[in-house]
């Protein structure tokens, strides 16, 4: 079976700049509302309900833009290809980030955050699509999960920059600089994409077999095998499966008509919405404010936010190291169960200690917030991986767009109102998050299947689709589903200028 190569890694590092862009761009506003200069510039009272409503509106419209971008990218990704869609999303994100950084009024910032959201939301959807389609089966979880790790690094970078900006003498610079720096990742992403190949699965779907074979052979070249048998086997499996899938009309409507596609669509909507129902954005987006409620000054609140995002990113890396060994489903179960317990614990601690001078009690509240972000990584990265791998090639862009749409719908539902909710009901919010985690745990146990190490062309069988061939354990032969015994596959060498043209022989 094909192994992860240095070429795979190099491509992933370029493409994950899109994930880094999302993380930095999203975090830039979170850190800005933690700076006193933001409220002075816009003449806002940080403790008023009016200010909380404005921040809620800004975040809600950003999420709306991101949801629109995540759905819109599917049309571009299917028509023009994953690579061109990534480039377009990067351009929109760059323009949106620049406009947000230059905002001189709240109304302008609200409007520009919608544009920013469109670009960043599209990037968040496209990065895992591309990575899943170029990754070898045995390391698909690791490579696709780099999406989450990359936007984690974006959060970390922005958080520590914000800590430094807090000490700036120029109050306007303190909140505007992180917003301006959110343009930088796209300045590296856009030229980098010029050297990235198109997804071979997209090219096969579009019947561009010659180019697809050249790319796949380089992507999954095994130095120990001079005949590229692994790549040949994978190529043929993709071609045969795509031939069958192309017999179906791959539209959003059809996704909810065909039973096997409907099941996948509903499960991915549930899973990404469930991940947000844990309250992660409700906690993280207002973390500086929450820390302030525990008696910490602004500087310490920003410092703890930076440490918090750093810890979260470290645990993302740990989850990626085990996701292909223990599986996506196992991590989901561990994550939802742990988050339910932690949410209950945080509620009880804040009920008892918030507003008191008990340093040990308030420290325990902070500790549980850190435990929350650690165990949240059991569901975060695996959910993105799972969503990107369960759909057939013809539906993958649309399927992931549904997943990211559900992600932002969950953010709007559970994260955006958090500023007002925490002011109104305080610690009781954690009880709501804990209860929703219990519901998600039960549904996951009964309905989410395991996908680890299964070639993407075979995952459809888990949902009732017909799979034409199955790859053997060594990755160098295929078994035809219609036959009882094992059948080896050979791919004939194409004649000059004729291309592959699906010249597959069965021995």
Q: For position 64, what pLDDT does the model report?
A: 92
- By three-state DSSP, how is residue 135 classified? coil
| Number of domains making up the chain | 1
In a domain, 223, yes or no: no
Q: How many residues does the chain have?
A: 507
CA distances from 146 to 9, 129, 130, 272, 359 (A): 10, 12, 11, 17, 38
- pLDDT at position 507 is 32
191 domain-assigned: yes
Nearest to 441 by CA among 384, 375, 390: 375
Residue 321: how many other CB atoms lie within 10 Å: 13
Parts of the chain with a pLDDT under 70: 1-3, 223-227, 285-286, 288-290, 293-294, 419, 473-477, 481-507
The answer to the question of residue 413 being in a domain is yes
Given this model, what pLDDT does residue 231 score?
84
What pLDDT is stored for residue 437 in this prediction? 97
Confidence (pLDDT) at 182: 96
> Rounded to 5 degrees, what angle do the CA atoms 114, 116, 120 make?
120
CA-to-CA distance for 58 and 262, rounded, in angstroms? 33
Q: Decide if 119 is inside a domain.
A: yes
Residue 472 confidence (pLDDT):
72
Q: What is the CATH number of the domain that holds 21?
A: 1.20.1250.20
In a domain, 476, yes or no: no
CB atoms within 10 A of CB 446: 7
Measured between alpha carbons, how far is 446 from 462 in angstroms, rounded to an integer?
A: 14
In a domain, residue 498? The reply is no
pLDDT value, residue 246: 82
Phi, psi of 5 (to 5 degrees): -115, 170
| pTM for the predicted model, two decimal places | 0.86
Q: Is-contact 19 124, C-beta < 8 A?
A: yes
Task: Print the domain residue range for 251.
Answer: 6-206+247-458
* HEC per residue, 160-177: HHHHHHHCCCCHHHHHHH
- Residue 442 burial (C-beta neighbours within 10 Å; 0-12, 13-18, 19+): exposed
Domain annotation covers residue 471: no
pLDDT at position 34: 77
496: exposed, middle or buried (Cβ count in 10 Å: 0-12, 13-18, 19+): exposed
């Amino acid at each position: 079976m094909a192994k992860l190569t240095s070429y795979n890694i190099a491509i992933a590092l370029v493409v994950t700049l899109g994930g880094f862009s999302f993380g930095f761009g999203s975090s830039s506003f979170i850190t800005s509302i933690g700076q006193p200069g933001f409220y002075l510039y816009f003449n806002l009272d940080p403790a008023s309900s009016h200010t909380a409503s404005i921040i809620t509106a800004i975040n809600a419209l950003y999420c709306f833009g991101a949801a629109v971008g995540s759905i819109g990218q599917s049309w571009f990704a299917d028509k023009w290809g994953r690579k061109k869609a990534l480039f377009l999303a990067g351009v929109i994100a760059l323009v949106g980030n620049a406009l947000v950084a230059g905002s001189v009024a709240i109304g302008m910032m609200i409007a520009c955050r919608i544009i920013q959201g469109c670009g960043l939301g599209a990037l968040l959807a496209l990065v895992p699509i591309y990575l899943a389609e170029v990754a070898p089966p045995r390391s698909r979880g690791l490579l696709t999960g780099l999406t989450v790790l990359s936007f984690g690094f974006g959060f970390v970078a922005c958080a520590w920059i914000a800590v430094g900006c807090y000490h700036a003498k120029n109050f306007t610079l303190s909140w505007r600089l992180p917003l301006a720096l959110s343009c930088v990742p796209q300045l590296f992403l856009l030229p980098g994409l010029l050297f990235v190949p198109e997804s071979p699965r997209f090219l096969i779907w579009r019947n561009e077999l010659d180019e697809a074979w050249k790319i796949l052979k380089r992507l999954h070249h095994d130095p120990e095998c001079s005949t590229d048998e692994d790549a040949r086997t994978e190529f043929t499996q993709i071609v045969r499966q795509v031939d069958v899938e192309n017999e179906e009309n791959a539209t959003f409507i059809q996704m909810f008509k065909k039973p096997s596609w409907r099941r996948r669509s509903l499960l991915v909507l549930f899973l990404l919405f469930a991940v947000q129902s844990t309250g992660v954005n409700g906690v993280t987006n207002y973390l500086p404010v929450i820390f302030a409620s525990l008696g910490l000054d602004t500087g310490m609140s920003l410092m703890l936010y930076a440490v918090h995002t750093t810890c979260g990113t470290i645990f993302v890396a740990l989850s990626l190291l085990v996701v292909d060994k223990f599986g996506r489903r196992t991590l989901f179960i561990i994550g939802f169960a742990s988050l339910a317990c932690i949410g209950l614990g945080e509620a009880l601690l804040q009920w008892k200690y918030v507003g008191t001078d008990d340093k040990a009690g308030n420290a325990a509240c902070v500790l549980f917030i850190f435990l929350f972000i650690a165990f949240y990584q059991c569901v975060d990265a695996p959910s993105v991986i799972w969503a990107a791998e369960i759909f057939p090639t013809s539906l993958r862009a649309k399927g992931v767009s549904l997943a990211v749409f559900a992600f932002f719908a969950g953010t709007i539902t559970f994260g955006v109102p958090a500023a007002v909710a925490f002011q109104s009901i305080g610690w009781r919010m954690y009880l709501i998050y804990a209860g929703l985690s219990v519901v998600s745990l039960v549904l996951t146990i009964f309905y989410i299947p395991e996908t680890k190490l299964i070639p993407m062309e075979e995952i459809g069988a888990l949902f009732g689709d017909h799979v034409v061939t199955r790859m053997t354990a060594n990755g160098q032969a295929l078994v035809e589903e219609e036959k009882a015994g094992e059948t080896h596959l050979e791919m004939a060498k194409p004649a000059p200028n004729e291309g592959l043209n699906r010249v597959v022989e069965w021995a």
